[in-house]
Amino acid sequence: MARIRSTVTLSFSARSAARLSQLGQLCFLERRRESNAASNFLGLALSMLLLRECHEVLGFNEDDFEAVVRDEWLPALAKDEGARLLYYLHLAHGSGESYRVVTYTLCRDGGALGRLVERVDRGDLKSLSEMLDGFRHNVEGSTYVPLPWSPAGQISLDEVPTEPGEHDLSLFMEDTVWPYEGKLEEYVRRAGEHYAVEFDQKSSGRPQLLEIQAAYRTAFGGARRREVILWQKVVNPKGMVGLLTREIPREYKTSGRWMLDALEIRDQWCSRLLRTSSWSPQY
């Protein structure tokens, strides 16, 4: 089978590898300039870089692709203490394009991202990357940093499994939001002050549908500038039926509610339902 060379993320061209390596070094130097006071909390959380990749997998090789990531890529990636595979997820059937796999890789800082680029481009991960290319049409990726109010905070890489293990499957709703031009910073602020707070209040005293676990924005130079990801675990899958089959209640479209007020800063987003594999390190 002819192997397909991707120009983004896991299978880098020389140009994209150099670009991301430079991005990693710039991010590393910028974090070094942060004050000690900031690094005690927000600086620590914001130093993380998250690499999100969407893989267009060949249908005949879906299981082969997953086996290589699970048995070879996962432990090999962890040879660098600054990088870990967090999630391996399938786009749920009926919710989008076929044979799409989404992976999230956590890098401790810009230096760790730079080392990962070099390992894939000309190091110990190069051959594995080429093997994965043989099982997919393409892969697209972008880098993100946590929002200041992100519930995830600072993830401890030492606690992320580096070997596959079996567990129940989990379902996540990944909302990708595109604020209006010139409204990115306002969206980041108001989402934390309004959406996250309203979400917690709405969930108290009644069955909870979603749990906000993290929120991210694109890192400088990493992808589309005005883009935010809300990462929400579906804690009540049966409740999704009502969300899909009923109109949004009118009470949610009144002044003071996020559904209406947020139209001042955005009106476009995309929701995806992603299901973890049974071995995904995080679930």
| Phi and psi, residue 210, nearest 5° | -125, 155
Question: CA distances (Å), 266 to each of 77, 112, 149, 179, in order?
Answer: 37, 33, 19, 4
Cα of first residue to Cα of last residue in the chain, in angstroms, is: 33
Is the domain of 21 the same as that of 150?
A: yes
Is the domain of 238 the same as that of 176?
A: yes
- Residue 61 located in a structural domain: yes
CATH number of residue 244's parent domain: 3.30.70.100
Is the domain of 54 the same as that of 93?
A: yes
**Structural domain boundaries, residue 234:** 172-274
* Number of domains forming the structure of the chain: 2
Is the domain of 126 the same as that of 250?
A: no
d(C-alpha 116, C-alpha 123), whole Å: 9
The whole-model pTM stands at 0.82
* Residue pointed to by tokens 């602020």: 189
pLDDT in tens, the chain (283 residues): 444 333 334 444 444 455 555 555 554 444 444 433 333 333 334 589 999 999 999 999 999 999 999 999 999 999 999 999 999 999 999 889 999 999 999 999 999 999 999 999 999 999 999 999 999 999 999 999 999 999 876 688 999 999 999 999 999 999 999 999 999 999 999 999 998 888 776 555 667 889 999 999 999 887 788 999 999 999 999 989 988 898 988 888 899 899 899 999 999 999 999 999 999 999 9
Residues 6+ apart with CB under 8 A from 243: 209
Is the domain of 200 the same as that of 86?
A: no
Is the domain of 202 the same as that of 135?
A: no
- Residue 228 located in a structural domain: yes
- Residue 163 located in a structural domain: no
Residues 6+ apart with CB under 8 A from 143: 20, 23, 49, 50, 51, 52, 113, 218, 219, 222, 223
